[in-house]
Amino acid sequence: MEAFISLDGLVAPLDRRNVDTDAIVPKQFLKSIARTGFGAHLFDELRFLDPGGLGQDPKSRRANPEFSLNEPRYEGAQILLTRENFGCGSSREHAPWALHDYGFRALIAPSFADIFFGNCFKNGLLPIVLDTAIVDELFNAVSRNVGYRLSIDLPTQTVRAPSGKAWKFDIEPARKRSLLEGLDDIALTLSAIEKIRAYEAQRRRQEPWLFERA
């Protein structure tokens, strides 16, 4: 998993509440369990006016000109600014896969659905919860300023605007460490491999009958 330490990124707005995981990546694209390739289908039914298939080149599709991510000013955005309860609905891990594969590294909203929130940390995405008033302020700033960027510093848990104004955000220490060190659940387990091997060796000595073959 790619580590997250700091980011200076372009902000793209998605001014919608209760965006569910089927809107993030629709069910017809869940046939693959690889973590890559889903970015092409991110917000598929919002981004495009025609139905698409798994692996279809987005350039061959009819883009929805009224959807924010299709505006040239937001091309290459790495920070998604959105509204309450983002990621609700089913618990598909494909949703953070699609967001990360598209190019997003951080999400900012007043709240996230619990399972989606946890899945983000497991896939190198930083979901940041800020007060609704702050999110409103950021939406206004993004609307008024083409190329609006924010700087995110995970060690100090700070989001900083171009004006110098900054906001603190909370994050659990274990999740912070996983992002800073680029550790998904498997890598986190393997980081304790020597302790695991020592435990297995001790268990074999103390209870050898458990390891006898039938």
For residue range 81-126, what is the model confidence (pLDDT) as tens digits? 999 999 999 888 999 999 999 999 999 999 999 999 999 999 999 9
Structural domain boundaries, residue 203: 6-211
Does a structural domain hold residue 55?
Answer: yes
Cβ(16)–Cβ(197) below 8 Å:
no
- Category of 111 on φ-ψ map: left (φ > 0), alpha (ψ -120 to 50) or beta: beta
Does a structural domain hold residue 175?
Answer: yes
80 pLDDT more than 90? yes
In the block, residue with structure tokens 């139905």: 51
Distance CA 25, CA 194 (A): 39
Average the pLDDT over 64-77 and give the result. 96
Does a structural domain hold residue 153?
Answer: yes
How many domains does one find in the chain?
Answer: 1
In the block, residue with structure tokens 């001790």: 202
In the block, residue with structure tokens 């890559």: 36
Q: Which pLDDT score, from 0 to 100, does residue 214 have?
A: 58
Closest residue by Cα to residue 102 from 85, 80, 83, 81: 80
Q: Which pLDDT score, from 0 to 100, does residue 133 have?
A: 98
Alpha carbon distances (Å) from 88 to 79, 84, 185: 19, 10, 22
Does a structural domain hold residue 108?
Answer: yes
> H-type helices in 56-192, by residue range?
94-102, 114-121, 132-144, 173-181, 185-190
Q: Which pLDDT score, from 0 to 100, does residue 55 have?
A: 74
52 pLDDT more than 70? yes
Give the confidence band of 48 by pLDDT, cuts at 50, 70, 90: very high
Query: Average pLDDT over the chain, rounded to whole?
Result: 92
Does a structural domain hold residue 193?
Answer: yes
Does a structural domain hold residue 1?
Answer: no
| Exposed / middle / buried, residue 94 (Cβ in 10 Å: 0-12, 13-18, 19+) | buried
CATH code of residue 170: 3.20.19.10
Convert 56-73 to b/e letters by CB count within 10 Å (16 or more is b): beeeebeebeebbbeeee
